[in-house]
Amino acid sequence: MTRATIGDRVLKDDTVVPDAPDLSPPTWHLAQADGSPSVVPPHRRTMKGDPIAGGSVGYNTIELAWRQLTGAISKTPVPGGQGSSPVESVARVAGYNVYIGALPVPASGAVPVPTPPTTPSLVLTHPTESTVIEGYWVPQTPPALPTWQRIMPNTAYAIVLEPLNPGFTASGKKSATLYVETGSSVPPVSPVSLAAPTSLAFQRGTATPSPGGSFYLEFGAVQNATSYEVYASRNPRPGMSSTPGLMDGDVLVGTASQPAAGVDSQKPIRVTTAPITGAGYISLKVRAVQPLQPGGNSYSPFSAPLTTVLKSA
């Protein structure tokens, strides 16, 4: 083998090493077994226990999870001549731009659909595939500086990821928009058990209705109730007071509020029903009502029914 000496021509290696493959858009972690997101636009209100695409969400944090595919992997020769071992050329991710848009969720009505901004809200400076977001930067009109905004409860968010090239330049390969909704910071209040109202009876012991057809009723108050509902039925059945639920044919004929002074065993709740007309059997019953947070009502079982006969006019 001849050694190279001073003056020999230098052979230039023209082997070209191609750049790493282009970055591909990140794909959100899919929450469903069939590979589909559970909440996608036009999205519905997220229910308690719903899995979401992209990770998980609380009332003041959003945990994101995604995949960053490298695309095709090519084998390229390393400069140095024949016999060199091939190496893999892979996409390199320096970090991610995170774009976050937000809109408050109203107490009722449709969930709003926010739009991600055109400038990054956060910059992740490491090639991760998950992160927890507790806040983000909101741009302001110059010369004002961006302001820090925490993740808020009862808010709809739209989030987009964009991988950064090795030089921390934007790749332009943005992910699909992920829509999530944070929950309420007020935990639901467990209902207090309500007893059934007792001693449902006609006032003054008479079942005679008023000339207009209204009945005068009274019954014992219930602890923790805020109001009462009186129902009438022309189809009384055994066991109708064993459940707080309504039965076919039940008609609301009266309501009453809990006295401001509270429960007094010596002072029954009194109510005048709406007019009830037509001959035949009529069964009356009452239940206690307690409102729940953040919505709805809790009901007691019905009282024992009070039955009478309406005569034809």
What does each of the 313 residues of the chain score in pLDDT, given as a tens digit? 445 455 545 444 454 444 455 778 888 876 443 444 444 433 444 444 444 555 667 778 888 888 886 543 334 444 444 433 333 334 578 899 999 999 998 877 788 899 999 999 999 998 888 888 999 999 888 888 889 999 998 899 999 999 998 888 999 999 989 888 887 766 556 667 888 899 999 987 777 777 778 889 999 999 889 999 999 888 766 555 555 567 777 888 999 999 887 788 788 999 999 888 777 888 899 999 888 755 567 888 888 888 888 876 5
Which amino acid is residue 51, in one-letter code?
A: P
Q: Is the peptide bond before 211 cis (omega within 30 degrees of 0)?
A: no
Rama region for 142: left / alpha / beta (φ>0; ψ in -120 to 50; rest): beta
Q: What is the DSSP letter of 38?
A: S
In the chain, which residues fall in CATH 2.60.40.10? 27-181
pLDDT value at residue 24:
85
Contact 104, 182 (CB under 8 A): no
Q: What's the CATH number of domain 27-181, 3.40.50.720, 3.30.70.920, 2.60.40.10, 3.90.1170.10? A: 2.60.40.10
272 burial level (CB within 10 Å; 0-12, 13-18, 19+): middle
213: tokens are 């057809």
Cα–Cα distances (Å) from 80 to 8, 14, 223, 228, in that order, read 18, 10, 89, 91
Residue 177 to residue 159: CA distance in whole angstroms: 6
pLDDT value at residue 36:
43
71: tokens are 């695309």
Q: Taking Cα atoms as reference points, which of 120, 18, 155, 118 lies closest to residue 73?
A: 18
pLDDT value at residue 245:
65
Q: What's the CATH number of domain 201-310, 2.60.40, 2.60.60, 2.40.30, 1.10.472? A: 2.60.40
Residue 56 to residue 63: CA distance in whole angstroms: 5
Residue 136 to residue 134: CA distance in whole angstroms: 7
